[in-house]
């Protein structure tokens, strides 16, 4: 009986267990079905939003005539009352680089289907569906799908996602918030370093570059070359893998990074020194130049055709890369310069023969890579052989690659090495790298010389290998010097070969369509990664937003503070006018407590290292008035004179300042004040050491000629000799200064309260 009772209990227990397991299976299947339904809702909503975003994008990119992002509203914006500024912003929206008005419609003005999709995503985000949380965070961060920017809500969603799953992008963005103090988030370098490091541990490229820059420059972290090396090396390896995974000879390098200051004539709107501008080509002048080349190409000018081939093959800021158009003009060149059998036509000039060699090389490379047509290695070999026979360096290098890999030919490393050597001797960077790798074991000194030569000309593979050698030397006891050199080369690779992690292309596109908040955020991310162009562009856009208001910081002080951070970092990377901007911030107290002493120090550095005419003028002003430095009329005049010589644009301002300085000097002298030793305006201009050396060098042949004339008793007219000598530039004569005193006396005195 006891046994039967026990058996009954066991059977009852097993039945209960089976019933419970069945219930669990039902619950699991319900969860799976719910997940499938939520996933379907998410994908449908996202599809609607992506289609709508594509529609918005096409509206703004359809514009072809573009002006400056910043030229429509400059410093005049500061004098407009705040209430008027707010009204204008509501009416006009953001002025884009194409002159179009970018207006965020607001959620209530969006199409009904788009609003419903946004609501669906918010509901899914509340249910902690990770993909939905991420999309909502990105939408609020950059104002996507026509919604307003809400950085505080975006931060909350990024933080939530990082807690839910440890998402690397979310962790990186949380670190970005803590680094910059966006919105109402308190700036905390420790938290920023923590979250950025967590993202970097997962191999997230932007986080690794940011972390590497911080350790390399000591920004928000203790400076450590070894730590910077680890992260830059990891990013560089990923970049090289991606570069070499493309078509033969590697992927095309990322496009040109536009400096927004170039669109407005410089950081200050005018050229202030020799380094104020990077590129001066405007869209209008570019279009005119293209029309000129198109006209010549239609007339049969092969040189114009080659220019168009190069333009469309590599792309340009104002012209997208187009292999089809490049090949079209290339075929026209080869048809004019080669016979149908591929032989060079007779009677060509030297210039036409050079064009033919370049065209043959380009045709071979494009045929091998499958650009503009299907890949054809046989055609590639034929054209590269023609180009190589004519001594074209690119053809020699590419043909060497074909022999090295055995493409359409029998593999022949000796022949490949010889071709690489010929290309290297013609200073072809790819040839130098390939020849170096081919002879590395036999003649390492020759290999290193070629790698260094290619690296000096900016070849990323050369930089990568040079960095590897320095890293190996460091591991072998090379010390800090080897580490710094390795970091410099790895950083070059990370910043130039940045297909996988750069926010700059998206930021530039946002700026082009007038979405300046998204552009500012993109350039700020680039600035945190250490890009000099990101630092300058972010600082410019932040200054602009400080004048007109925005959604990224609670008030103007937040924009000014962050702008000063980026001006300082850009100045430390020798970006022109950034140091002068740093001085302005200290002088006017923008984003920092006012300090005339620090302003004077910044202006002095900019004047001496950048030859900035504006910095020189600012120093002259400060010495004239004794602001931040001891009053010194002689130093004031020296800096005004140098400003006049360094920057012709400031001619009027410099002469007005000299006129005012003369009056101040005379008044101080008449009042019995200390004005320094020696006359200031009523004496010959001091001659610099450089001028003395030039005069002495010019005087030697003149003295010898004079002695020869005297011995021969000859008297000759030396007018031609005098006119041929270099004219010494004048820093402003007394007559000019007195003229400006008489003409601009009242106007000059009006400038006294101003900087």
- Provide the greatest CA pair distance for the chain: 153
Q: Which residue has the higher pLDDT, 124 or 684?
A: 124
Are residues 551 and 652 located together in one domain of the fold? yes
Residues 558 and 579 in one domain: yes
- CATH number of the domain enclosing 613: 1.25.40.10
> Tell me: the pLDDT tens digits for 389-430?
999 999 999 999 999 999 999 999 999 999 999 999 999 999
pLDDT at 110: 86
Residues 647 and 700 occupy one common structural domain: no
Residues 741 and 665 in one domain: yes
| Tokens, residue 447 | 């290999």
Structural domain total, the chain: 2
Q: Say if residue 666 is in the same domain as residue 705.
A: no
Q: Is 185 contained in some domain?
A: no
Percent of the chain whose predicted confidence (pLDDT) is above 70: 78
Q: Is the pLDDT of residue 312 over 70?
A: yes
The burial of 249, by beta-carbon neighbours within 10 Å (0-12 exposed, 13-18 middle, 19 or more buried), is given as middle
Give the list of residues 6+ apart from residue 48 with CB closer than 8 angstroms, or none.
Answer: 113, 114, 117
640 in a structural domain: yes
More confident residue, 177 or 609: 177
> How far, in Å, CA of 69 to CA of 262, rounded?
10
Q: If 0-12 CB within 10 Å is exposed, 13-18 middle and 19+ buried, where does residue 254 land?
A: middle
Residue 170: pLDDT band by 50, 70, 90 thresholds? very high
> Does 702 lie in the same domain as 566?
no
What pLDDT sits at residue 676?
74
Q: Is residue 347 part of a domain?
A: no
667 or 739: which leads in pLDDT? 667
Residue 69 falls within a domain, yes or no? no
CA dihedral 85, 86, 88, 94 (to 10 degrees): 100
Q: Please give the average per-residue pLDDT across 238-256, as a whole number.
A: 94
What's the pLDDT tens digit per position in 441-494? 999 999 999 999 999 999 999 999 999 999 999 988 878 999 999 999 999 999
pLDDT for the residue 699: 52
Token pair of 396, please?
A: 């020699």
What's the mean pLDDT in 634-647? 89
Tens of pLDDT, residue by residue over 13-62, are: 445 444 444 444 445 454 456 688 888 999 999 999 989 888 777 766 55
> Could you read off the pLDDT of 559-573 as tens digits, one per residue?
999 999 999 999 999
Whether residue 672 has pLDDT greater than 60: yes
Task: Tell me, yes or no, whether 601 and 696 share the same domain.
Answer: no
Residue 714 within a domain: yes
Confidence class for position 668, pLDDT limits 50, 70, 90: confident
pLDDT greater at residue 726 or residue 446: 446
The arithmetic mean of pLDDT across residues 215-244, rounded, is 97
Tell me the per-residue pLDDT of 198-217, one tens digit each, with 9 for 90 and over: 999 999 999 999 999 999 99
pLDDT digits (tens, 9 = 90+) for 380-400: 999 999 999 999 999 999 999
- Residue 379 scores a pLDDT above 90: yes
- Whether 271 and 647 have beta carbons less than 8 Å apart is answered as yes
For residue 491, report the phi and psi dihedrals to the nearest 5 degrees: -65, -40
Q: Do 693 and 592 fall into the same domain?
A: no
- Does residue 306 belong to any structural domain of this protein? no
Q: Do residue 615 and residue 719 come from a single domain?
A: no
**pLDDT category, 63, cuts 50, 70, 90?**
low
Same domain (yes/no): 624, 741: yes
From 666, 651, 657, select the one nearest 636 (Cα to Cα). 657
Q: Give pLDDT, residue 318.
A: 86
pLDDT band with cut points at 50, 70 and 90 for residue 374: very high
Overall average pLDDT of the 84-112 stretch: 53
Q: Is there a single domain that holds both residue 595 and residue 743?
A: yes
Distances (CA, A) of 670 to 209, 648, 667, 673: 62, 33, 5, 8
Instruction: Kindly state whether residues 605 and 695 are assigned to the same domain.
Output: no
pLDDT at 547: 83
Mean pLDDT of the chain: 83
φ, ψ dihedrals at 40, nearest 5°: -65, -45
Question: Is the C-alpha dihedral spanning 360, 363, 367, 368 positive or negative?
Answer: positive
* Alpha carbon distance 104, 110 (integer Å): 9
pLDDT band (50, 70, 90) for residue 70: very low
Alpha-carbon span 456 to 459, nearest angstrom = 8
pLDDT tops 90 at residue 113: yes
pLDDT at 697: 65
In three-state secondary structure terms, 224 is coil
pLDDT at 714: 35
326 pLDDT exceeds 70? Answer: yes
| Residue 733, pLDDT score | 46
Whether 656 maps to a domain, the answer reads: yes
Q: Are 103 and 93 in contact (CB under 8 A)?
A: yes
* Within a domain: 361: no
The whole-number average pLDDT for the span 143-170 is 95
What pLDDT is recorded for position 505?
A: 94
Determine the pLDDT at residue 687: 57
User: How confident is the model at residue 423, as a pLDDT?
Assistant: 98
- pLDDT at position 68 is 42
**Which residue is associated with the tokens 């707010």?**
86
Q: Is a pLDDT exceeding 90 seen at residue 651?
A: no
Domain that includes residue 710, residue range: 689-724
């Amino acid at each position: 009986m006891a046994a039967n009772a026990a058996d009954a209990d066991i059977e009852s227990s097993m039945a209960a267990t089976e019933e419970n397991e069945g219930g669990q299976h039902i619950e699991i299947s319900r969860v799976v079905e719910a997940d499938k339904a939520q996933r379907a809702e998410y994908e449908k909503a996202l599809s609607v939003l992506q289609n709508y975003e594509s529609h918005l994008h096409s509206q703004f990119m359809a514009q072809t005539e573009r002006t400056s992002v910043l030229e429509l509203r400059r410093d005049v914006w500061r004098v407009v009352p705040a209430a008027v500024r707010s009204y204008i912003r509501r009416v006009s929206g953001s002025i884009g680089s194409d002159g179009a008005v970018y207006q965020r419609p607001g959620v209530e003005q969006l199409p009904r289907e788009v609003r419903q999709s946004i609501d669906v995503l918010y509901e899914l985000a509340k249910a902690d569906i990770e993909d939905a949380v991420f999309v909502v965070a990105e939408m609020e961060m950059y104002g996507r799908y026509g919604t307003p920017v809400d950085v505080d809500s975006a931060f909350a969603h990024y933080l939530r996602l990082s807690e839910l799953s440890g998402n690397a992008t979310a962790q990186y963005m949380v670190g970005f918030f803590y680094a910059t103090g966006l919105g109402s988030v308190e700036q905390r370098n420790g938290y920023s370093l923590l979250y950025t490091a967590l993202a970097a541990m997962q191999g997230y490229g932007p986080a690794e570059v940011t972390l590497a820059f911080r350790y390399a420059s000591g920004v928000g972290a203790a400076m450590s070359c070894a730590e910077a090396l680890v992260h830059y090396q990891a990013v560089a390896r990923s970049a090289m893998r991606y570069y070499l995974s493309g078509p033969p000879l590697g992927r095309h390098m990322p496009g040109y990074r536009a400096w927004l200051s170039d669109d407005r004539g410089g950081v200050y709107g005018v050229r202030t020194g020799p380094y104020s501008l990077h590129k001066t080509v405007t869209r209008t002048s570019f279009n005119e130049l293209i029309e000129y080349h198109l006209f010549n190409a239609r007339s049969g000018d092969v040189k114009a055709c080659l220019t168009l081939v190069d333009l469309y093959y590599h792309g340009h800021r104002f012209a997208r890369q187009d292999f089809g158009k490049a090949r079209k003009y290339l075929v026209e060149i080869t048809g004019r310069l080669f016979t149908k059998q591929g032989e060079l036509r007779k009677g060509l000039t030297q210039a036409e023969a050079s064009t033919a060699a370049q065209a043959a090389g380009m045709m071979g490379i494009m045929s091998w890579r499958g650009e503009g047509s299907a890949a054809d290695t046989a055609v590639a070999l034929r054209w590269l052989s023609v180009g190589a026979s004519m001594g074209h360096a690119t053809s020699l290098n590419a043909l060497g690659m074909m022999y090295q890999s055995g493409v359409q030919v029998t593999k022949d490393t000796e022949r490949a090495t010889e071709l690489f050597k010929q290309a290297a001797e013609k200073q072809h960077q790819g040839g130098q790298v390939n020849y170096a790798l081919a002879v590395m074991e036999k003649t390492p000194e020759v290999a290193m010389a070629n790698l260094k030569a290619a690296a000096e000309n900016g070849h990323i593979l050369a930089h990568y290998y040079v960095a590897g050698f320095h890293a190996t030397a460091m591991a072998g006891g090379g010390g800090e010097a080897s580490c710094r050199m390795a970091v410099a080369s790895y950083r070059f690779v990370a910043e130039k070969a940045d297909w996988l992690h750069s926010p700059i292309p998206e930021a530039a596109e946002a700026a082009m369509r007038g979405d300046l908040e998204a552009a500012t955020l993109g350039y700020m991310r680039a600035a945190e990664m250490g890009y000099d162009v990101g630092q300058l562009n972010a600082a410019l856009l932040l200054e602009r937003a400080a004048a007109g208001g925005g959604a990224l910081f609670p008030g103007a002080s937040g924009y000014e503070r962050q702008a000063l951070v980026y001006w300082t970092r850009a100045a430390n990377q020798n970006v022109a006018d950034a140091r002068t901007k740093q001085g302005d911030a200290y002088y006017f107290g923008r984003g920092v407590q006012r300090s005339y002493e620090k302003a004077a120090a910044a202006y002095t550095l900019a004047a001496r290292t950048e030859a900035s005419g504006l910095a020189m003028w600012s120093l002259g002003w400060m010495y004239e008035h004794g602001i931040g430095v001891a009053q010194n009329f002689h130093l004031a005049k020296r800096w005004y004179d140098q400003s006049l010589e360094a920057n012709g644009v400031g001619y009027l301002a410099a002469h007005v300042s000299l006129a005012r300085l003369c009056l101040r000097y005379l008044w101080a002298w008449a009042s019995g004040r200390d004005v320094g030793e020696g006359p200031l305006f009523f004496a010959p201009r001091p001659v610099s050491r450089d001028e003395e050396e030039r005069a002495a060098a010019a005087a030697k042949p003149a003295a010898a000629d004079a002695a020869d004339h005297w011995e021969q008793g000859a008297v000759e007219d030396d007018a031609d000799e005098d006119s041929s000598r270099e004219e010494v530039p004048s820093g402003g004569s007394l007559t000019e200064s007195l003229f400006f005193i008489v003409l601009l006396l009242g106007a000059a005195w009006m400038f006294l309260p101003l900087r």
